[in-house]
Homo-oligomer: A and B are copies of this chain.
Amino acid sequence: MYKILKTEGRAKRAQLETVHGTIQTPVFMNVGTAAAIKGAVSTEDLEGIKTQVELSNTYHLHVRPGDRIIKQLGGLHKFMSWDRPILTDSGGFQVFSLAGLRKIKEEGVYFHSHVDGRKIFMGPEESMQIQSNLGSTIAMAFDECPSSVADRQYVENSVARTARWLERCKKEMARLNAIEDTVNPKQLLFGINQGAVYDDIRIDHARRISELDCDGYALGGLAVGESHEQMYHVIEETVPYLPQDKPTYLMGVGTPANILEGVERGIDFFDCVYPTRNGRHGHLYTNHGKINLFNAKYETDARPIEEGCMCPACRRYSRAYIRHLLKAKEMLGMRLCVLHNLYFYNTMMEEIRQALDEGSFMAYKKRKLEGMQNIK
């Protein structure tokens, strides 16, 4: 179901067939944490800005409204009215970054809900059960994401446990996909490679999880404090040890430049909150760099955010109007900025795929980076 259509160096132009349609890669997934893209963006809006895959957060949906309620309502696709692919994370990253006091044990993690403080236990089986209730297209394995500055011994122990957890995830997902009232009997499972910035630990772990024949493999624990150069180095060293006939996913990354570098190093899937979060603050991506609409010089600027852009914001509204909305704290301002930024990312991915189709990715990458000089 994963097919490489073309390569250029290590860069891959591929597609992944799923029960919710075919994903053309490289792809940028649009992050809708609580089953909604922040900024009042609806799934109807997503259909108009080239979104292929929506990403929702397992931990958030488990806590509120609850994955059982979503299953009762027919699964996440029906709940949010989105019939294209959805990827859910494992909940692990949020447990480690958001939740209160936690204890990591072999069986899983004990922690407190950030909403109401109640005690929750989540291990590989629980994460799979929650994601199965959501019925996402692609589920992510439950892992620990050690700090990029964690010491070697800690990271070694952590990735060994993450590898053991992956076996349990695989087994549990196989069981869940076979039960009678499962939401999505063809739910895919991606494993996650960890190892902080230790090449040899990353490579050992990659080899070990490759044997488990997951539907895809992610690089986790990057873009969490290490330098861009360290991140590119880890990708370069690790990707060759992941199965070549499976999609690769660089989790939580990143800037347009990060994505271009990732594609060059063989990555298929990306996701990041930058376009939504920056949009909500009036920071907008253009092919000539990033602009901040709060800047006074846009007060009477009748031009769209970017000339020629066909996003719902640029097709109708001026910089001056959107700036006014942001200054007046009108929610519409945030919405238009988020729509523009997601459209920018989704369009860049389309351009990347086209360049790969034409065998001109490296030239495209150079041109794109030169244009966006202030977006590193």
Contact = CB atoms under 8 A, between A and B. Distances in A.
Interface of A: 34-44, 60, 64-65, 69, 72-74, 79-81, 299-300, 302, 312, 316-318, 320-321, 323-325, 327-328, 330-336
Contacts of A321: 35, 73, 79-81
Given A74-B302, A81-B317, A321-B80, A330 B36 contact: yes
Given A34-B328, A331-B335, 17 more contacts: A34-B324, A34-B325, A36-B333, A38-B331, A39-B40, A40-B332, A41-B332, A42-B332, A42-B335, A60-B328, A64-B327, A65-B320, A65-B327, A73-B300, A73-B321, A79-B318, A331-B331
A34 B81 contact: no
Nearest to A34: B328
Nearest to A321: B79
Contacts of A316: 42-44, 81
A331 B334 contact: yes
Contacts of A81: 316-317, 321
Nearest to A65: B324
B65 A334 contact: no
Nearest to A328: B34
A74 B316 CA distance: 14
A314 B336 CA distance: 22
Given A34-B328, A327-B65, A320 B73 contact: yes
A317 to B, nearest CB: 6
A300 B72 contact: yes
A72 B321 CA distance: 12
A133 to B, nearest CB: 13
A80 B330 CA distance: 13
Given A312-B44, A328-B34, A299 B39 contact: no
Given A73-B300, A320-B69, A335 B40 contact: yes
A64 B327 CA distance: 9
A328 B40 CA distance: 12
Nearest to A72: B300
Contacts of A323: 65
24 contacts: A35-B324, A35-B325, A36-B325, A36-B328, A37-B332, A38-B330, A40-B331, A42-B332, A42-B336, A64-B327, A65-B299, A65-B320, A65-B323, A69-B299, A72-B300, A73-B300, A73-B302, A73-B318, A73-B321, A79-B318, A79-B324, A80-B321, A81-B316, A331-B331
A339 to B, nearest CB: 9
Q: Which 10 A-B pairs have the closest CB atoms?
A: A40-B40, A40-B331, A40-B335, A36-B330, A81-B316, A65-B324, A34-B328, A36-B332, A40-B332, A331-B331
Contacts of A79: 318, 320-321, 324
A286 B107 CA distance: 50
Contacts of A333: 36
A67 to B, nearest CB: 12
B324 A64 contact: yes
B64 A328 contact: yes
A286 to B, nearest CB: 20
Nearest to A320: B73
Contacts of A336: 42
